[in-house]
């Protein structure tokens, strides 16, 4: 048994920490402040379990109590035959369209462009509690809902890497491949951003499923 005085001190410390955490999260977040005004949580349900599409496991839901939250959270390490450079944390709704895009768009386009398949993608970001474009004061990024993935490169069977930073403006085959997979992500993903959108996306493709009230897409 702990002495009562120790227990009392312990409880005071815990309560103080809880108050600090609550104050801290409402004002400043690790990635700077952001606004959540007008944001609609994503549809995080899914018809197919990600573990049936690749190497994936269900993890505990995330709620940082500042707007950043992932319901139906999964840690995904591969989809189909495509490995991820690092595990991606996403809500369940993201895995199926990502799998379909990789299998039905990326792989056939890689075959046409290079005569070989993609074996892995460089995941630059998945779940991240931060403002859009890491710009303090902006709206919370869809990454804060585990509703987005950033892809910086595709690696072929031969080991050749096609990076967004170089390939977007690079050789004909790399340009054609990257522009095609970017353009054809639009629709199954609601937001698709690449180097043509702004400097923040000069080195990766951002794909998300933002739940806009009017159901529109934004692809650039
Ligand atoms: Zn992104």
C-alpha distance across the termini of the chain, in Å: 63
pLDDT of residue 5: 53
Same domain, 11 and 100: no
What distance in angstroms lies between residue 112's CA and the mean position of ligand 1's atoms?
27
- Exposure of 186 by Cβ count < 10 A (0-12 exposed, 13-18 middle, 19+ buried)? middle
Domain that holds residue 12: 1-30
Same domain, 15 and 36: no
Same domain, 103 and 190: yes
Please name which of 122, 104, 111 lies closest in space to residue 177, comparing C-alpha atoms: 111
Number of domains in the chain: 2
Same domain, 197 and 113: yes
What distance in angstroms lies between residue 67's CA and the mean position of ligand 1's atoms?
17
Please name which of 102, 191, 197, 186 lies closest in space to residue 145, comparing C-alpha atoms: 191
What distance in angstroms lies between residue 56's CA and the mean position of ligand 1's atoms?
21
Rounded alpha-carbon distances, angstroms, from residue 193 to 85, 127, 168: 20, 17, 12
Over its length of 220 residues, how does the chain's per-residue pLDDT go in tens digits?
444 554 455 444 444 443 333 333 333 555 569 999 999 999 999 999 999 999 999 999 999 999 999 999 999 999 999 999 999 999 999 999 999 999 999 999 999 999 999 999 999 999 999 999 999 999 999 999 999 999 999 999 999 999 999 999 999 999 999 999 999 999 999 999 999 999 999 999 999 999 999 999 999 9
Query: Which parts of the chain are beta strand (E)?
Result: 56-58, 62-63, 69-70, 73-79, 82-91, 118-125, 148-156, 161-163, 191-193, 205-208, 218-219
What distance in angstroms lies between residue 154's CA and the mean position of ligand 1's atoms?
16
Q: What tokens appear for 52 in the block? A: 């049936």
Same domain, 73 and 21: no
pLDDT of residue 31: 56
Same domain, 82 and 181: yes
Same domain, 1 and 76: no
Please name which of 164, 171, 172, 173 lies closest in space to residue 196, comparing C-alpha atoms: 164
Same domain, 38 and 77: yes
What distance in angstroms lies between residue 125's CA and the mean position of ligand 1's atoms?
7
Same domain, 20 and 108: no
Q: What is the pTM of this model?
A: 0.86
Task: Map residue 122 onto helix, strand or coil.
Answer: strand
- Exposure of 29 by Cβ count < 10 A (0-12 exposed, 13-18 middle, 19+ buried)? buried
Q: Among all chains, which residue has been given the structure tokens 């095609």? A: 180
What distance in angstroms lies between residue 189's CA and the mean position of ligand 1's atoms?
12
What distance in angstroms lies between residue 20's CA and the mean position of ligand 1's atoms?
30
Same domain, 167 and 114: yes
Same domain, 79 and 56: yes
Q: CATH number for the domain including 82?
A: 3.30.1380
What distance in angstroms lies between residue 66's CA and the mean position of ligand 1's atoms?
19
What distance in angstroms lies between residue 165's CA and the mean position of ligand 1's atoms?
15
Same domain, 55 and 144: yes
pLDDT of residue 147: 98
């Amino acid at each position: 048994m702990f002495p009562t005085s120790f227990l009392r001190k312990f409880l005071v410390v815990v309560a103080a920490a809880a108050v600090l955490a609550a104050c801290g999260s409402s004002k400043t977040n690790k990635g700077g402040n952001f606004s959540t005004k007008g944001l609609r949580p994503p549809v995080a349900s899914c018809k197919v379990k990600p573990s049936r599409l690749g190497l994936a496991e269900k993890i505990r839901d995330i709620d940082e109590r500042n707007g950043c939250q992932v319901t139906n959270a999964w840690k995904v390490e591969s989809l189909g035959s495509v490995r991820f450079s690092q595990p991606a944390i996403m809500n369940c709704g993201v895995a199926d369209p990502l799998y379909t895009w990789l299998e039905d768009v990326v792989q056939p386009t890689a075959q046409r462009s290079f005569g070989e398949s993609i074996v892995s993608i460089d995941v630059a970001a998945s779940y991240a509690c931060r403002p859009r474009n890491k710009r303090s004061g902006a709206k919370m990024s869809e990454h804060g809902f585990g509703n987005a993935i950033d892809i910086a490169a595709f690696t072929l069977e031969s080991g050749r890497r096609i990076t967004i930073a170089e390939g977007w403006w690079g050789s004909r085959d790399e340009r054609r491949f990257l522009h095609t997979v970017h353009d054809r992500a639009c629709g199954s993903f609601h937001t698709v951003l690449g180097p043509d959108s702004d400097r923040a996306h000069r080195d990766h493709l951002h794909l998300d499923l933002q739940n806009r009230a009017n159901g529109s897409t934004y692809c650039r």
